[in-house]
Structure 1
Amino acid sequence: MTVSRRSVLGAGLAAPLLTSPFLSRPARAQRSSGIIRYGLSAFPPNLQPWVSTGASAGTVKMLIHRSLVAYDPKGELRGELAESWSRDAEGAWVFKLRKGCVFHNGEPVTADDVKWSIEQIAGEKSTAYMRAQFQLVERVEIPDPQTVRFVTKGPQATLPSWFANYNTFIIWRKSNPNEPIGAGPFRLVGQERGTSLELAAFDKFYKPGIPKLKGINFVVYADENLRNAALMSGDVDMIEYVPWQSMAAVESDPRLRLDTQEGPFMDVLFNGTKPPFNDPRVRRAVAHAVKREDIVKVAFFGRGKPLEGVPIVEGTPWYDKELAHGWNYDPARAKALLAEAGFASGFQTTLLATAQFGMHKDTAEIVQQYLAAIGIQAELQLPDWSTRVSRGSRGQYDIAIHGVSSDNNDPDGLTVVMDTSLSPSHGRSFKVEAPRTIAALAAGRAEFDQAKRVEIYREMQRAALEEVPLVGLAWRQQGYGMDKSVQGFTNLPGALSNSSGNMLEETYFG
């Protein structure tokens, strides 16, 4: 079975925001005033600091909020509200807060704010993305006003990286629940629902000379081709998610620059609360049904590579060549698994994606065709992104297509997409039973010895190939396009690409 490339240029969504006041201002005036115009791919469903609503929302949140640590341009952890961190003799993680940090209301960032924020994230009724991780913290202690001590229920080798997730921020403890006050380099000073957001530099940010811009005007282009057209025409200075079919044009334009990383990936998610996808044999059938090369060719115009196993990056200590192809294309095996599960004649189901991002829609259409070839007739559902997020988080689907990345470049970063015991999220399968995978992830998180961690994560891959908490489909290049006058921005390496919005604090016009 072969899927031919088809044009996606004619498949538009809602009209772009041509009437936005941001677009009516002359580009030169914007640049001279130090305000960058950024083409955002989706309007954030919300900006709640601890709830995951996608990478576009994460970009905005990283700029108006701040956590204890973040990633530097090389992808290494660096101090933010914390200036240092280490484990003490008793195995607790101790963070020393940076002096002079203040929230946007002028109140100082204190250990009490850190303690309160983490307790809210870990609360029993919390809907926070990182709730389950922080429930592994037994208690938060404050030895002095500038020190926070995290006593965990067991060893946690990767705890510092939890604070670099763009859904883990420190908020002023007296904030109104609907108006969280952060300590980021920018303040949200205006927004038009569904259309635009306006940020202004925070003049009391704790890093001298940061941010380098005076402001950021985010203009939402739901249609990826119109977003790219805005960059090509100069209506915006920078965009995220450069469409793959447009990357060559951006590269060849002498006025523009394309910055890509390979690390994000496409996958299939499952609702494990009901038949047939509560059966791992059916999930494995889906895994063997799809020829990934067609996804790379059609959805990503060759800018990616097939992903036939757990998303472990080749060339890292965790990579195993044999395990990396454990879900190879094998339609005969897929049909046999369906028959073994009692579905020899196939079945009908629904496939949730979104038309707002071409990569989701194109990937979903290819998966739909390959599922049909083994007897699974999937009705494609393509709501807008906000609805896709809501339905995914509530488990209102059978199977779904998603685009995501690990939380970081350590295998523990896969926890957020593979640990199906965590709080429901649009970015991971809904209540799929995967106990061996989850146990291996926990074991790796608790182990400090590198050689032992390598073997633990190989066992995690073996378990996941059988339990199938997700199905990897394709690695993809992810690109930011920008005018060459935009300087200082870094597309973070590998899985961290989705966290690159944090680098806008170091961006300026050269």
Structure 2
Amino acid sequence: MTPTRRSLLAAGAALPFLRAWPARAQRQTGVLRFGLSSFPPSIQPWVNTGTAAATVKLLIHRGLVSFAPDGSLRGELAEAWSNDSPTSWTFRLRENALFQNGDRVTAEDIRWNLEQMASERSTAYHRAQAQRIARIETPDARTVRIVTAEPMVTLPLWFASYHMMMVSPRSPTGAGSLPVGAGPFVLKGQERGVSLDLEAFDRYYKPGLPRLRGIRMVAYADENLRVAALQAGDVDLIEYVPWQAMASIEADPKLRLDATDGPFMYLVFNATRPHLGDARIRRAIAHAIKREEIVKAAFFGRGSPLEGLPLMPGSAFHDPELASGWRYDPARARALLAEAGVPNGFTTSILATAQYGMHKDTAEVVQQNLAAVGIQAELRLPDWATRVTLGNRGQYDIAVMGTTTENNDPDGLSTLIDGSLAPSFVRSFGLRVPRIEELLAAGRAEFDGGKRRAIYAELQRIALAEAPIVGLAWRSQGYAMTPEVKGFKALGGALNFYSGITLEEASIG
């Protein structure tokens, strides 16, 4: 969805779980068993700790708006919103929206959330976005007027992010406590590193939802065990279906695969480490990689090469010529290394994780391809939680990453290539390209579609030269489930990691 300057409207403590219930009884009572790809490092609502954490957060929390299954924006805590001027947006809150402590969601609560995200000591993933808000007005309990420092066409998309969920200002503050959300499920218990139990919130603002009595989320860090658990009937639905298992699941009449393209693999760099602050070196790395080998080795052919910035084919902003700017060219890679003063290459390291086979397999192909042009890279393969921590701290040279953009708008690239943002494992460390930052700001401020396309075309040209990240491969992303699971949908494009939001409408049995 691309917003315009016209008004935009959108419609709108129980008993603990009995872990010994047999599978049949769980289905009859409406408890869905979900196989997570990892136990979330954290489920604090404003931080980014990966996809498994995002799925959990999408069950407990809600923001002002969210994405519908077709990719459009829909109301959540806000039932309607309008663009009053290039710098002013008004959100009208639902009358029946409640936090899970029973408190009504008010305009002052929204103000408090945004001010906390924007504060100087905030660790919020979207702190920079919140800091672009100049003023928040609350003329009554259900009206929030947001005035930005500059024109901001993309503001509603921010509020659909699972990193900008609204929580109760009256949440408990003790050690280990979690903010109180307003989502369809309440966290009732967890076994650290193993599982989380969620129960339906009986005062959720959408009548008749959620349909499930509860969800039991079990972490299977080993992807083969995750598939085996589904095949054995120990779980009903799994995320991150390993690509080598997709064909067998498709052929199994007792299972169903729901897969879509959108997520992708790419490289990030620590620009403070030797050589990697030089754009010529990063371009050399981009031209040294045989992306077809990654598609084959990591994704069993279920994907395609990514030779530019990750703008989905079919998007109005996708240019086929710019999309192939980092095509495989080892001669060009060696020439760039020589131009940068290291004709014989150099020694470095690649950070990935062995917990996800796609990360490990991708890293191994990159390692081999770089060695062919003289760059010797040692692999570092910790567990996922450690990988995230090292990435956030900048404790790496080169790192393999896999994600999606924030949304299907090209401004979703911001979190990957805007070096002015706070350090994050999803983007390069210590690497700023002022012209990229200027173009991203210009794209957010421009309401004319044609002018936005020109802005993002220039952005792609600058990115090909500066290589703030290096695209590797698009990948098919799959969920697998039993036929008894109804209502769950894998969202397409950049929204795939938001698929957990459809669990509010899921049922089983």
Shared fold, TM over 0.5: yes
- Alpha-carbon offset, residue 363 of structure 1: 0.2
Work out whether residues 22 and 219 of structure 1, in 8 Å CA contact, stay in contact via their aligned partners in 2: no
Out of 487-496 and 174-183, give the one that drifted further: 174-183
Name the CA distance, whole Å, in 2 between partners of 1:249 and 1:51: 36
Matched, 1:61 2:60: no
Extract structure 1 runs of 4+ deviating beyond 4 A: 21-24
- Alpha-carbon offset, residue 90 of structure 1: 6.7
Query: Could you give the per-residue CA deviations for residues 415-470 of structure 1, whole angstroms, max 9, x where no partner exists?
Result: 11121211111111112122222221111111111111111110110011011110
Work out whether residues 312 and 318 of structure 2, in 8 Å CA contact, stay in contact via their aligned partners in 1: yes
Query: What 5-or-longer segments of structure 2 have no aligned partner?
Result: 1-16
What residue is the counterpart of 1:413 in the other structure? 412
Relative distance call for 1:89 and 1:454 in structure 2 (3 A) is: closer
Aligned partner of 1:440: which letter?
A: L
What residue is the counterpart of 1:10 in the other structure? none
Name the CA distance, whole Å, in 1 between partners of 2:232 and 2:399: 35
Query: Could you give the per-residue CA deviations for residues 355-409 of structure 1, whole angstroms, max 9, x where no partner exists?
Result: 0000000000000000111111111000000000000011010010010101111
2:137 aligned to 112, 137, 141, which one? Answer: 141
Name the CA distance, whole Å, in 1 between partners of 2:329 and 2:170: 56
What residue is the counterpart of 1:12 in the other structure? none
What residue is the counterpart of 2:13 in the other structure? none
What residue is the counterpart of 1:174 in the other structure? 170
Q: SS of the residue aligned with 2:326?
A: coil
Give the length in aligned residue pairs: 490
Within 5 Å, which residues of 2 pair with 1:418-429? Answer: 418-429=417-428
- Alpha-carbon offset, residue 22 of structure 1: 8.1
Name the CA distance, whole Å, in 2 between partners of 1:89 and 1:252: 53
Relative distance call for 1:31 and 1:465 in structure 2 (3 A) is: same
Work out whether residues 418 and 432 of structure 2, in 8 Å CA contact, stay in contact via their aligned partners in 1: no
Aligned partner of 1:395: which letter?
A: G
Name the CA distance, whole Å, in 2 between partners of 1:90 and 1:46: 36
Query: What 5-or-longer segments of structure 1 have no aligned partner?
Result: 1-20
Work out whether residues 440 and 460 of structure 1, in 8 Å CA contact, stay in contact via their aligned partners in 2: yes
Work out whether residues 187 and 197 of structure 2, in 8 Å CA contact, stay in contact via their aligned partners in 1: yes
Query: Could you give the per-residue CA deviations for residues 247-291 of structure 1, whole angstroms, max 9, x where no partner exists?
Result: 011101101110011000000000112321111111111110100
Matched, 1:121 2:120: no
Q: SS of the residue aligned with 2:420?
A: coil
What residue is the counterpart of 1:100 in the other structure? 96
Work out whether residues 65 and 75 of structure 2, in 8 Å CA contact, stay in contact via their aligned partners in 1: yes
- Alpha-carbon offset, residue 26 of structure 1: 1.9
Out of 150-159 and 22-31, give the one that drifted further: 22-31
What residue is the counterpart of 1:437 in the other structure? 436
Q: SS of the residue aligned with 2:475?
A: strand
Query: Could you give the per-residue CA deviations for residues 152-193 of structure 1, whole angstroms, max 9, x where no partner exists?
Result: 000000100101111111111122344311111000001000
RMSD between superposed Cα atoms in Å: 1.2
Work out whether residues 23 and 235 of structure 1, in 8 Å CA contact, stay in contact via their aligned partners in 2: no
Work out whether residues 437 and 467 of structure 1, in 8 Å CA contact, stay in contact via their aligned partners in 2: no
Query: Could you give the per-residue CA deviations for residues 99-120 of structure 1, whole angstroms, max 9, x where no partner exists?
Result: 1111111111111110111111
Within 5 Å, which residues of 2 pair with 1:290-329? Answer: 290-329=289-328
Query: Could you give the per-residue CA deviations for residues 318-346 of structure 1, whole angstroms, max 9, x where no partner exists?
Result: 11111111001001111111111111121
What residue is the counterpart of 2:8 in the other structure? none
What residue is the counterpart of 1:340 in the other structure? 339
Work out whether residues 51 and 129 of structure 1, in 8 Å CA contact, stay in contact via their aligned partners in 2: yes
What residue is the counterpart of 1:6 in the other structure? none
Name the CA distance, whole Å, in 1 between partners of 2:18 and 2:325: 49
What residue is the counterpart of 2:191 in the other structure? 192
Aligned partner of 2:103: which letter?
A: E
Relative distance call for 1:148 and 1:161 in structure 2 (3 A) is: same
Indicate the percent of aligned positions where both proteins have the same amino acid.
Answer: 61
What residue is the counterpart of 1:379 in the other structure? 378
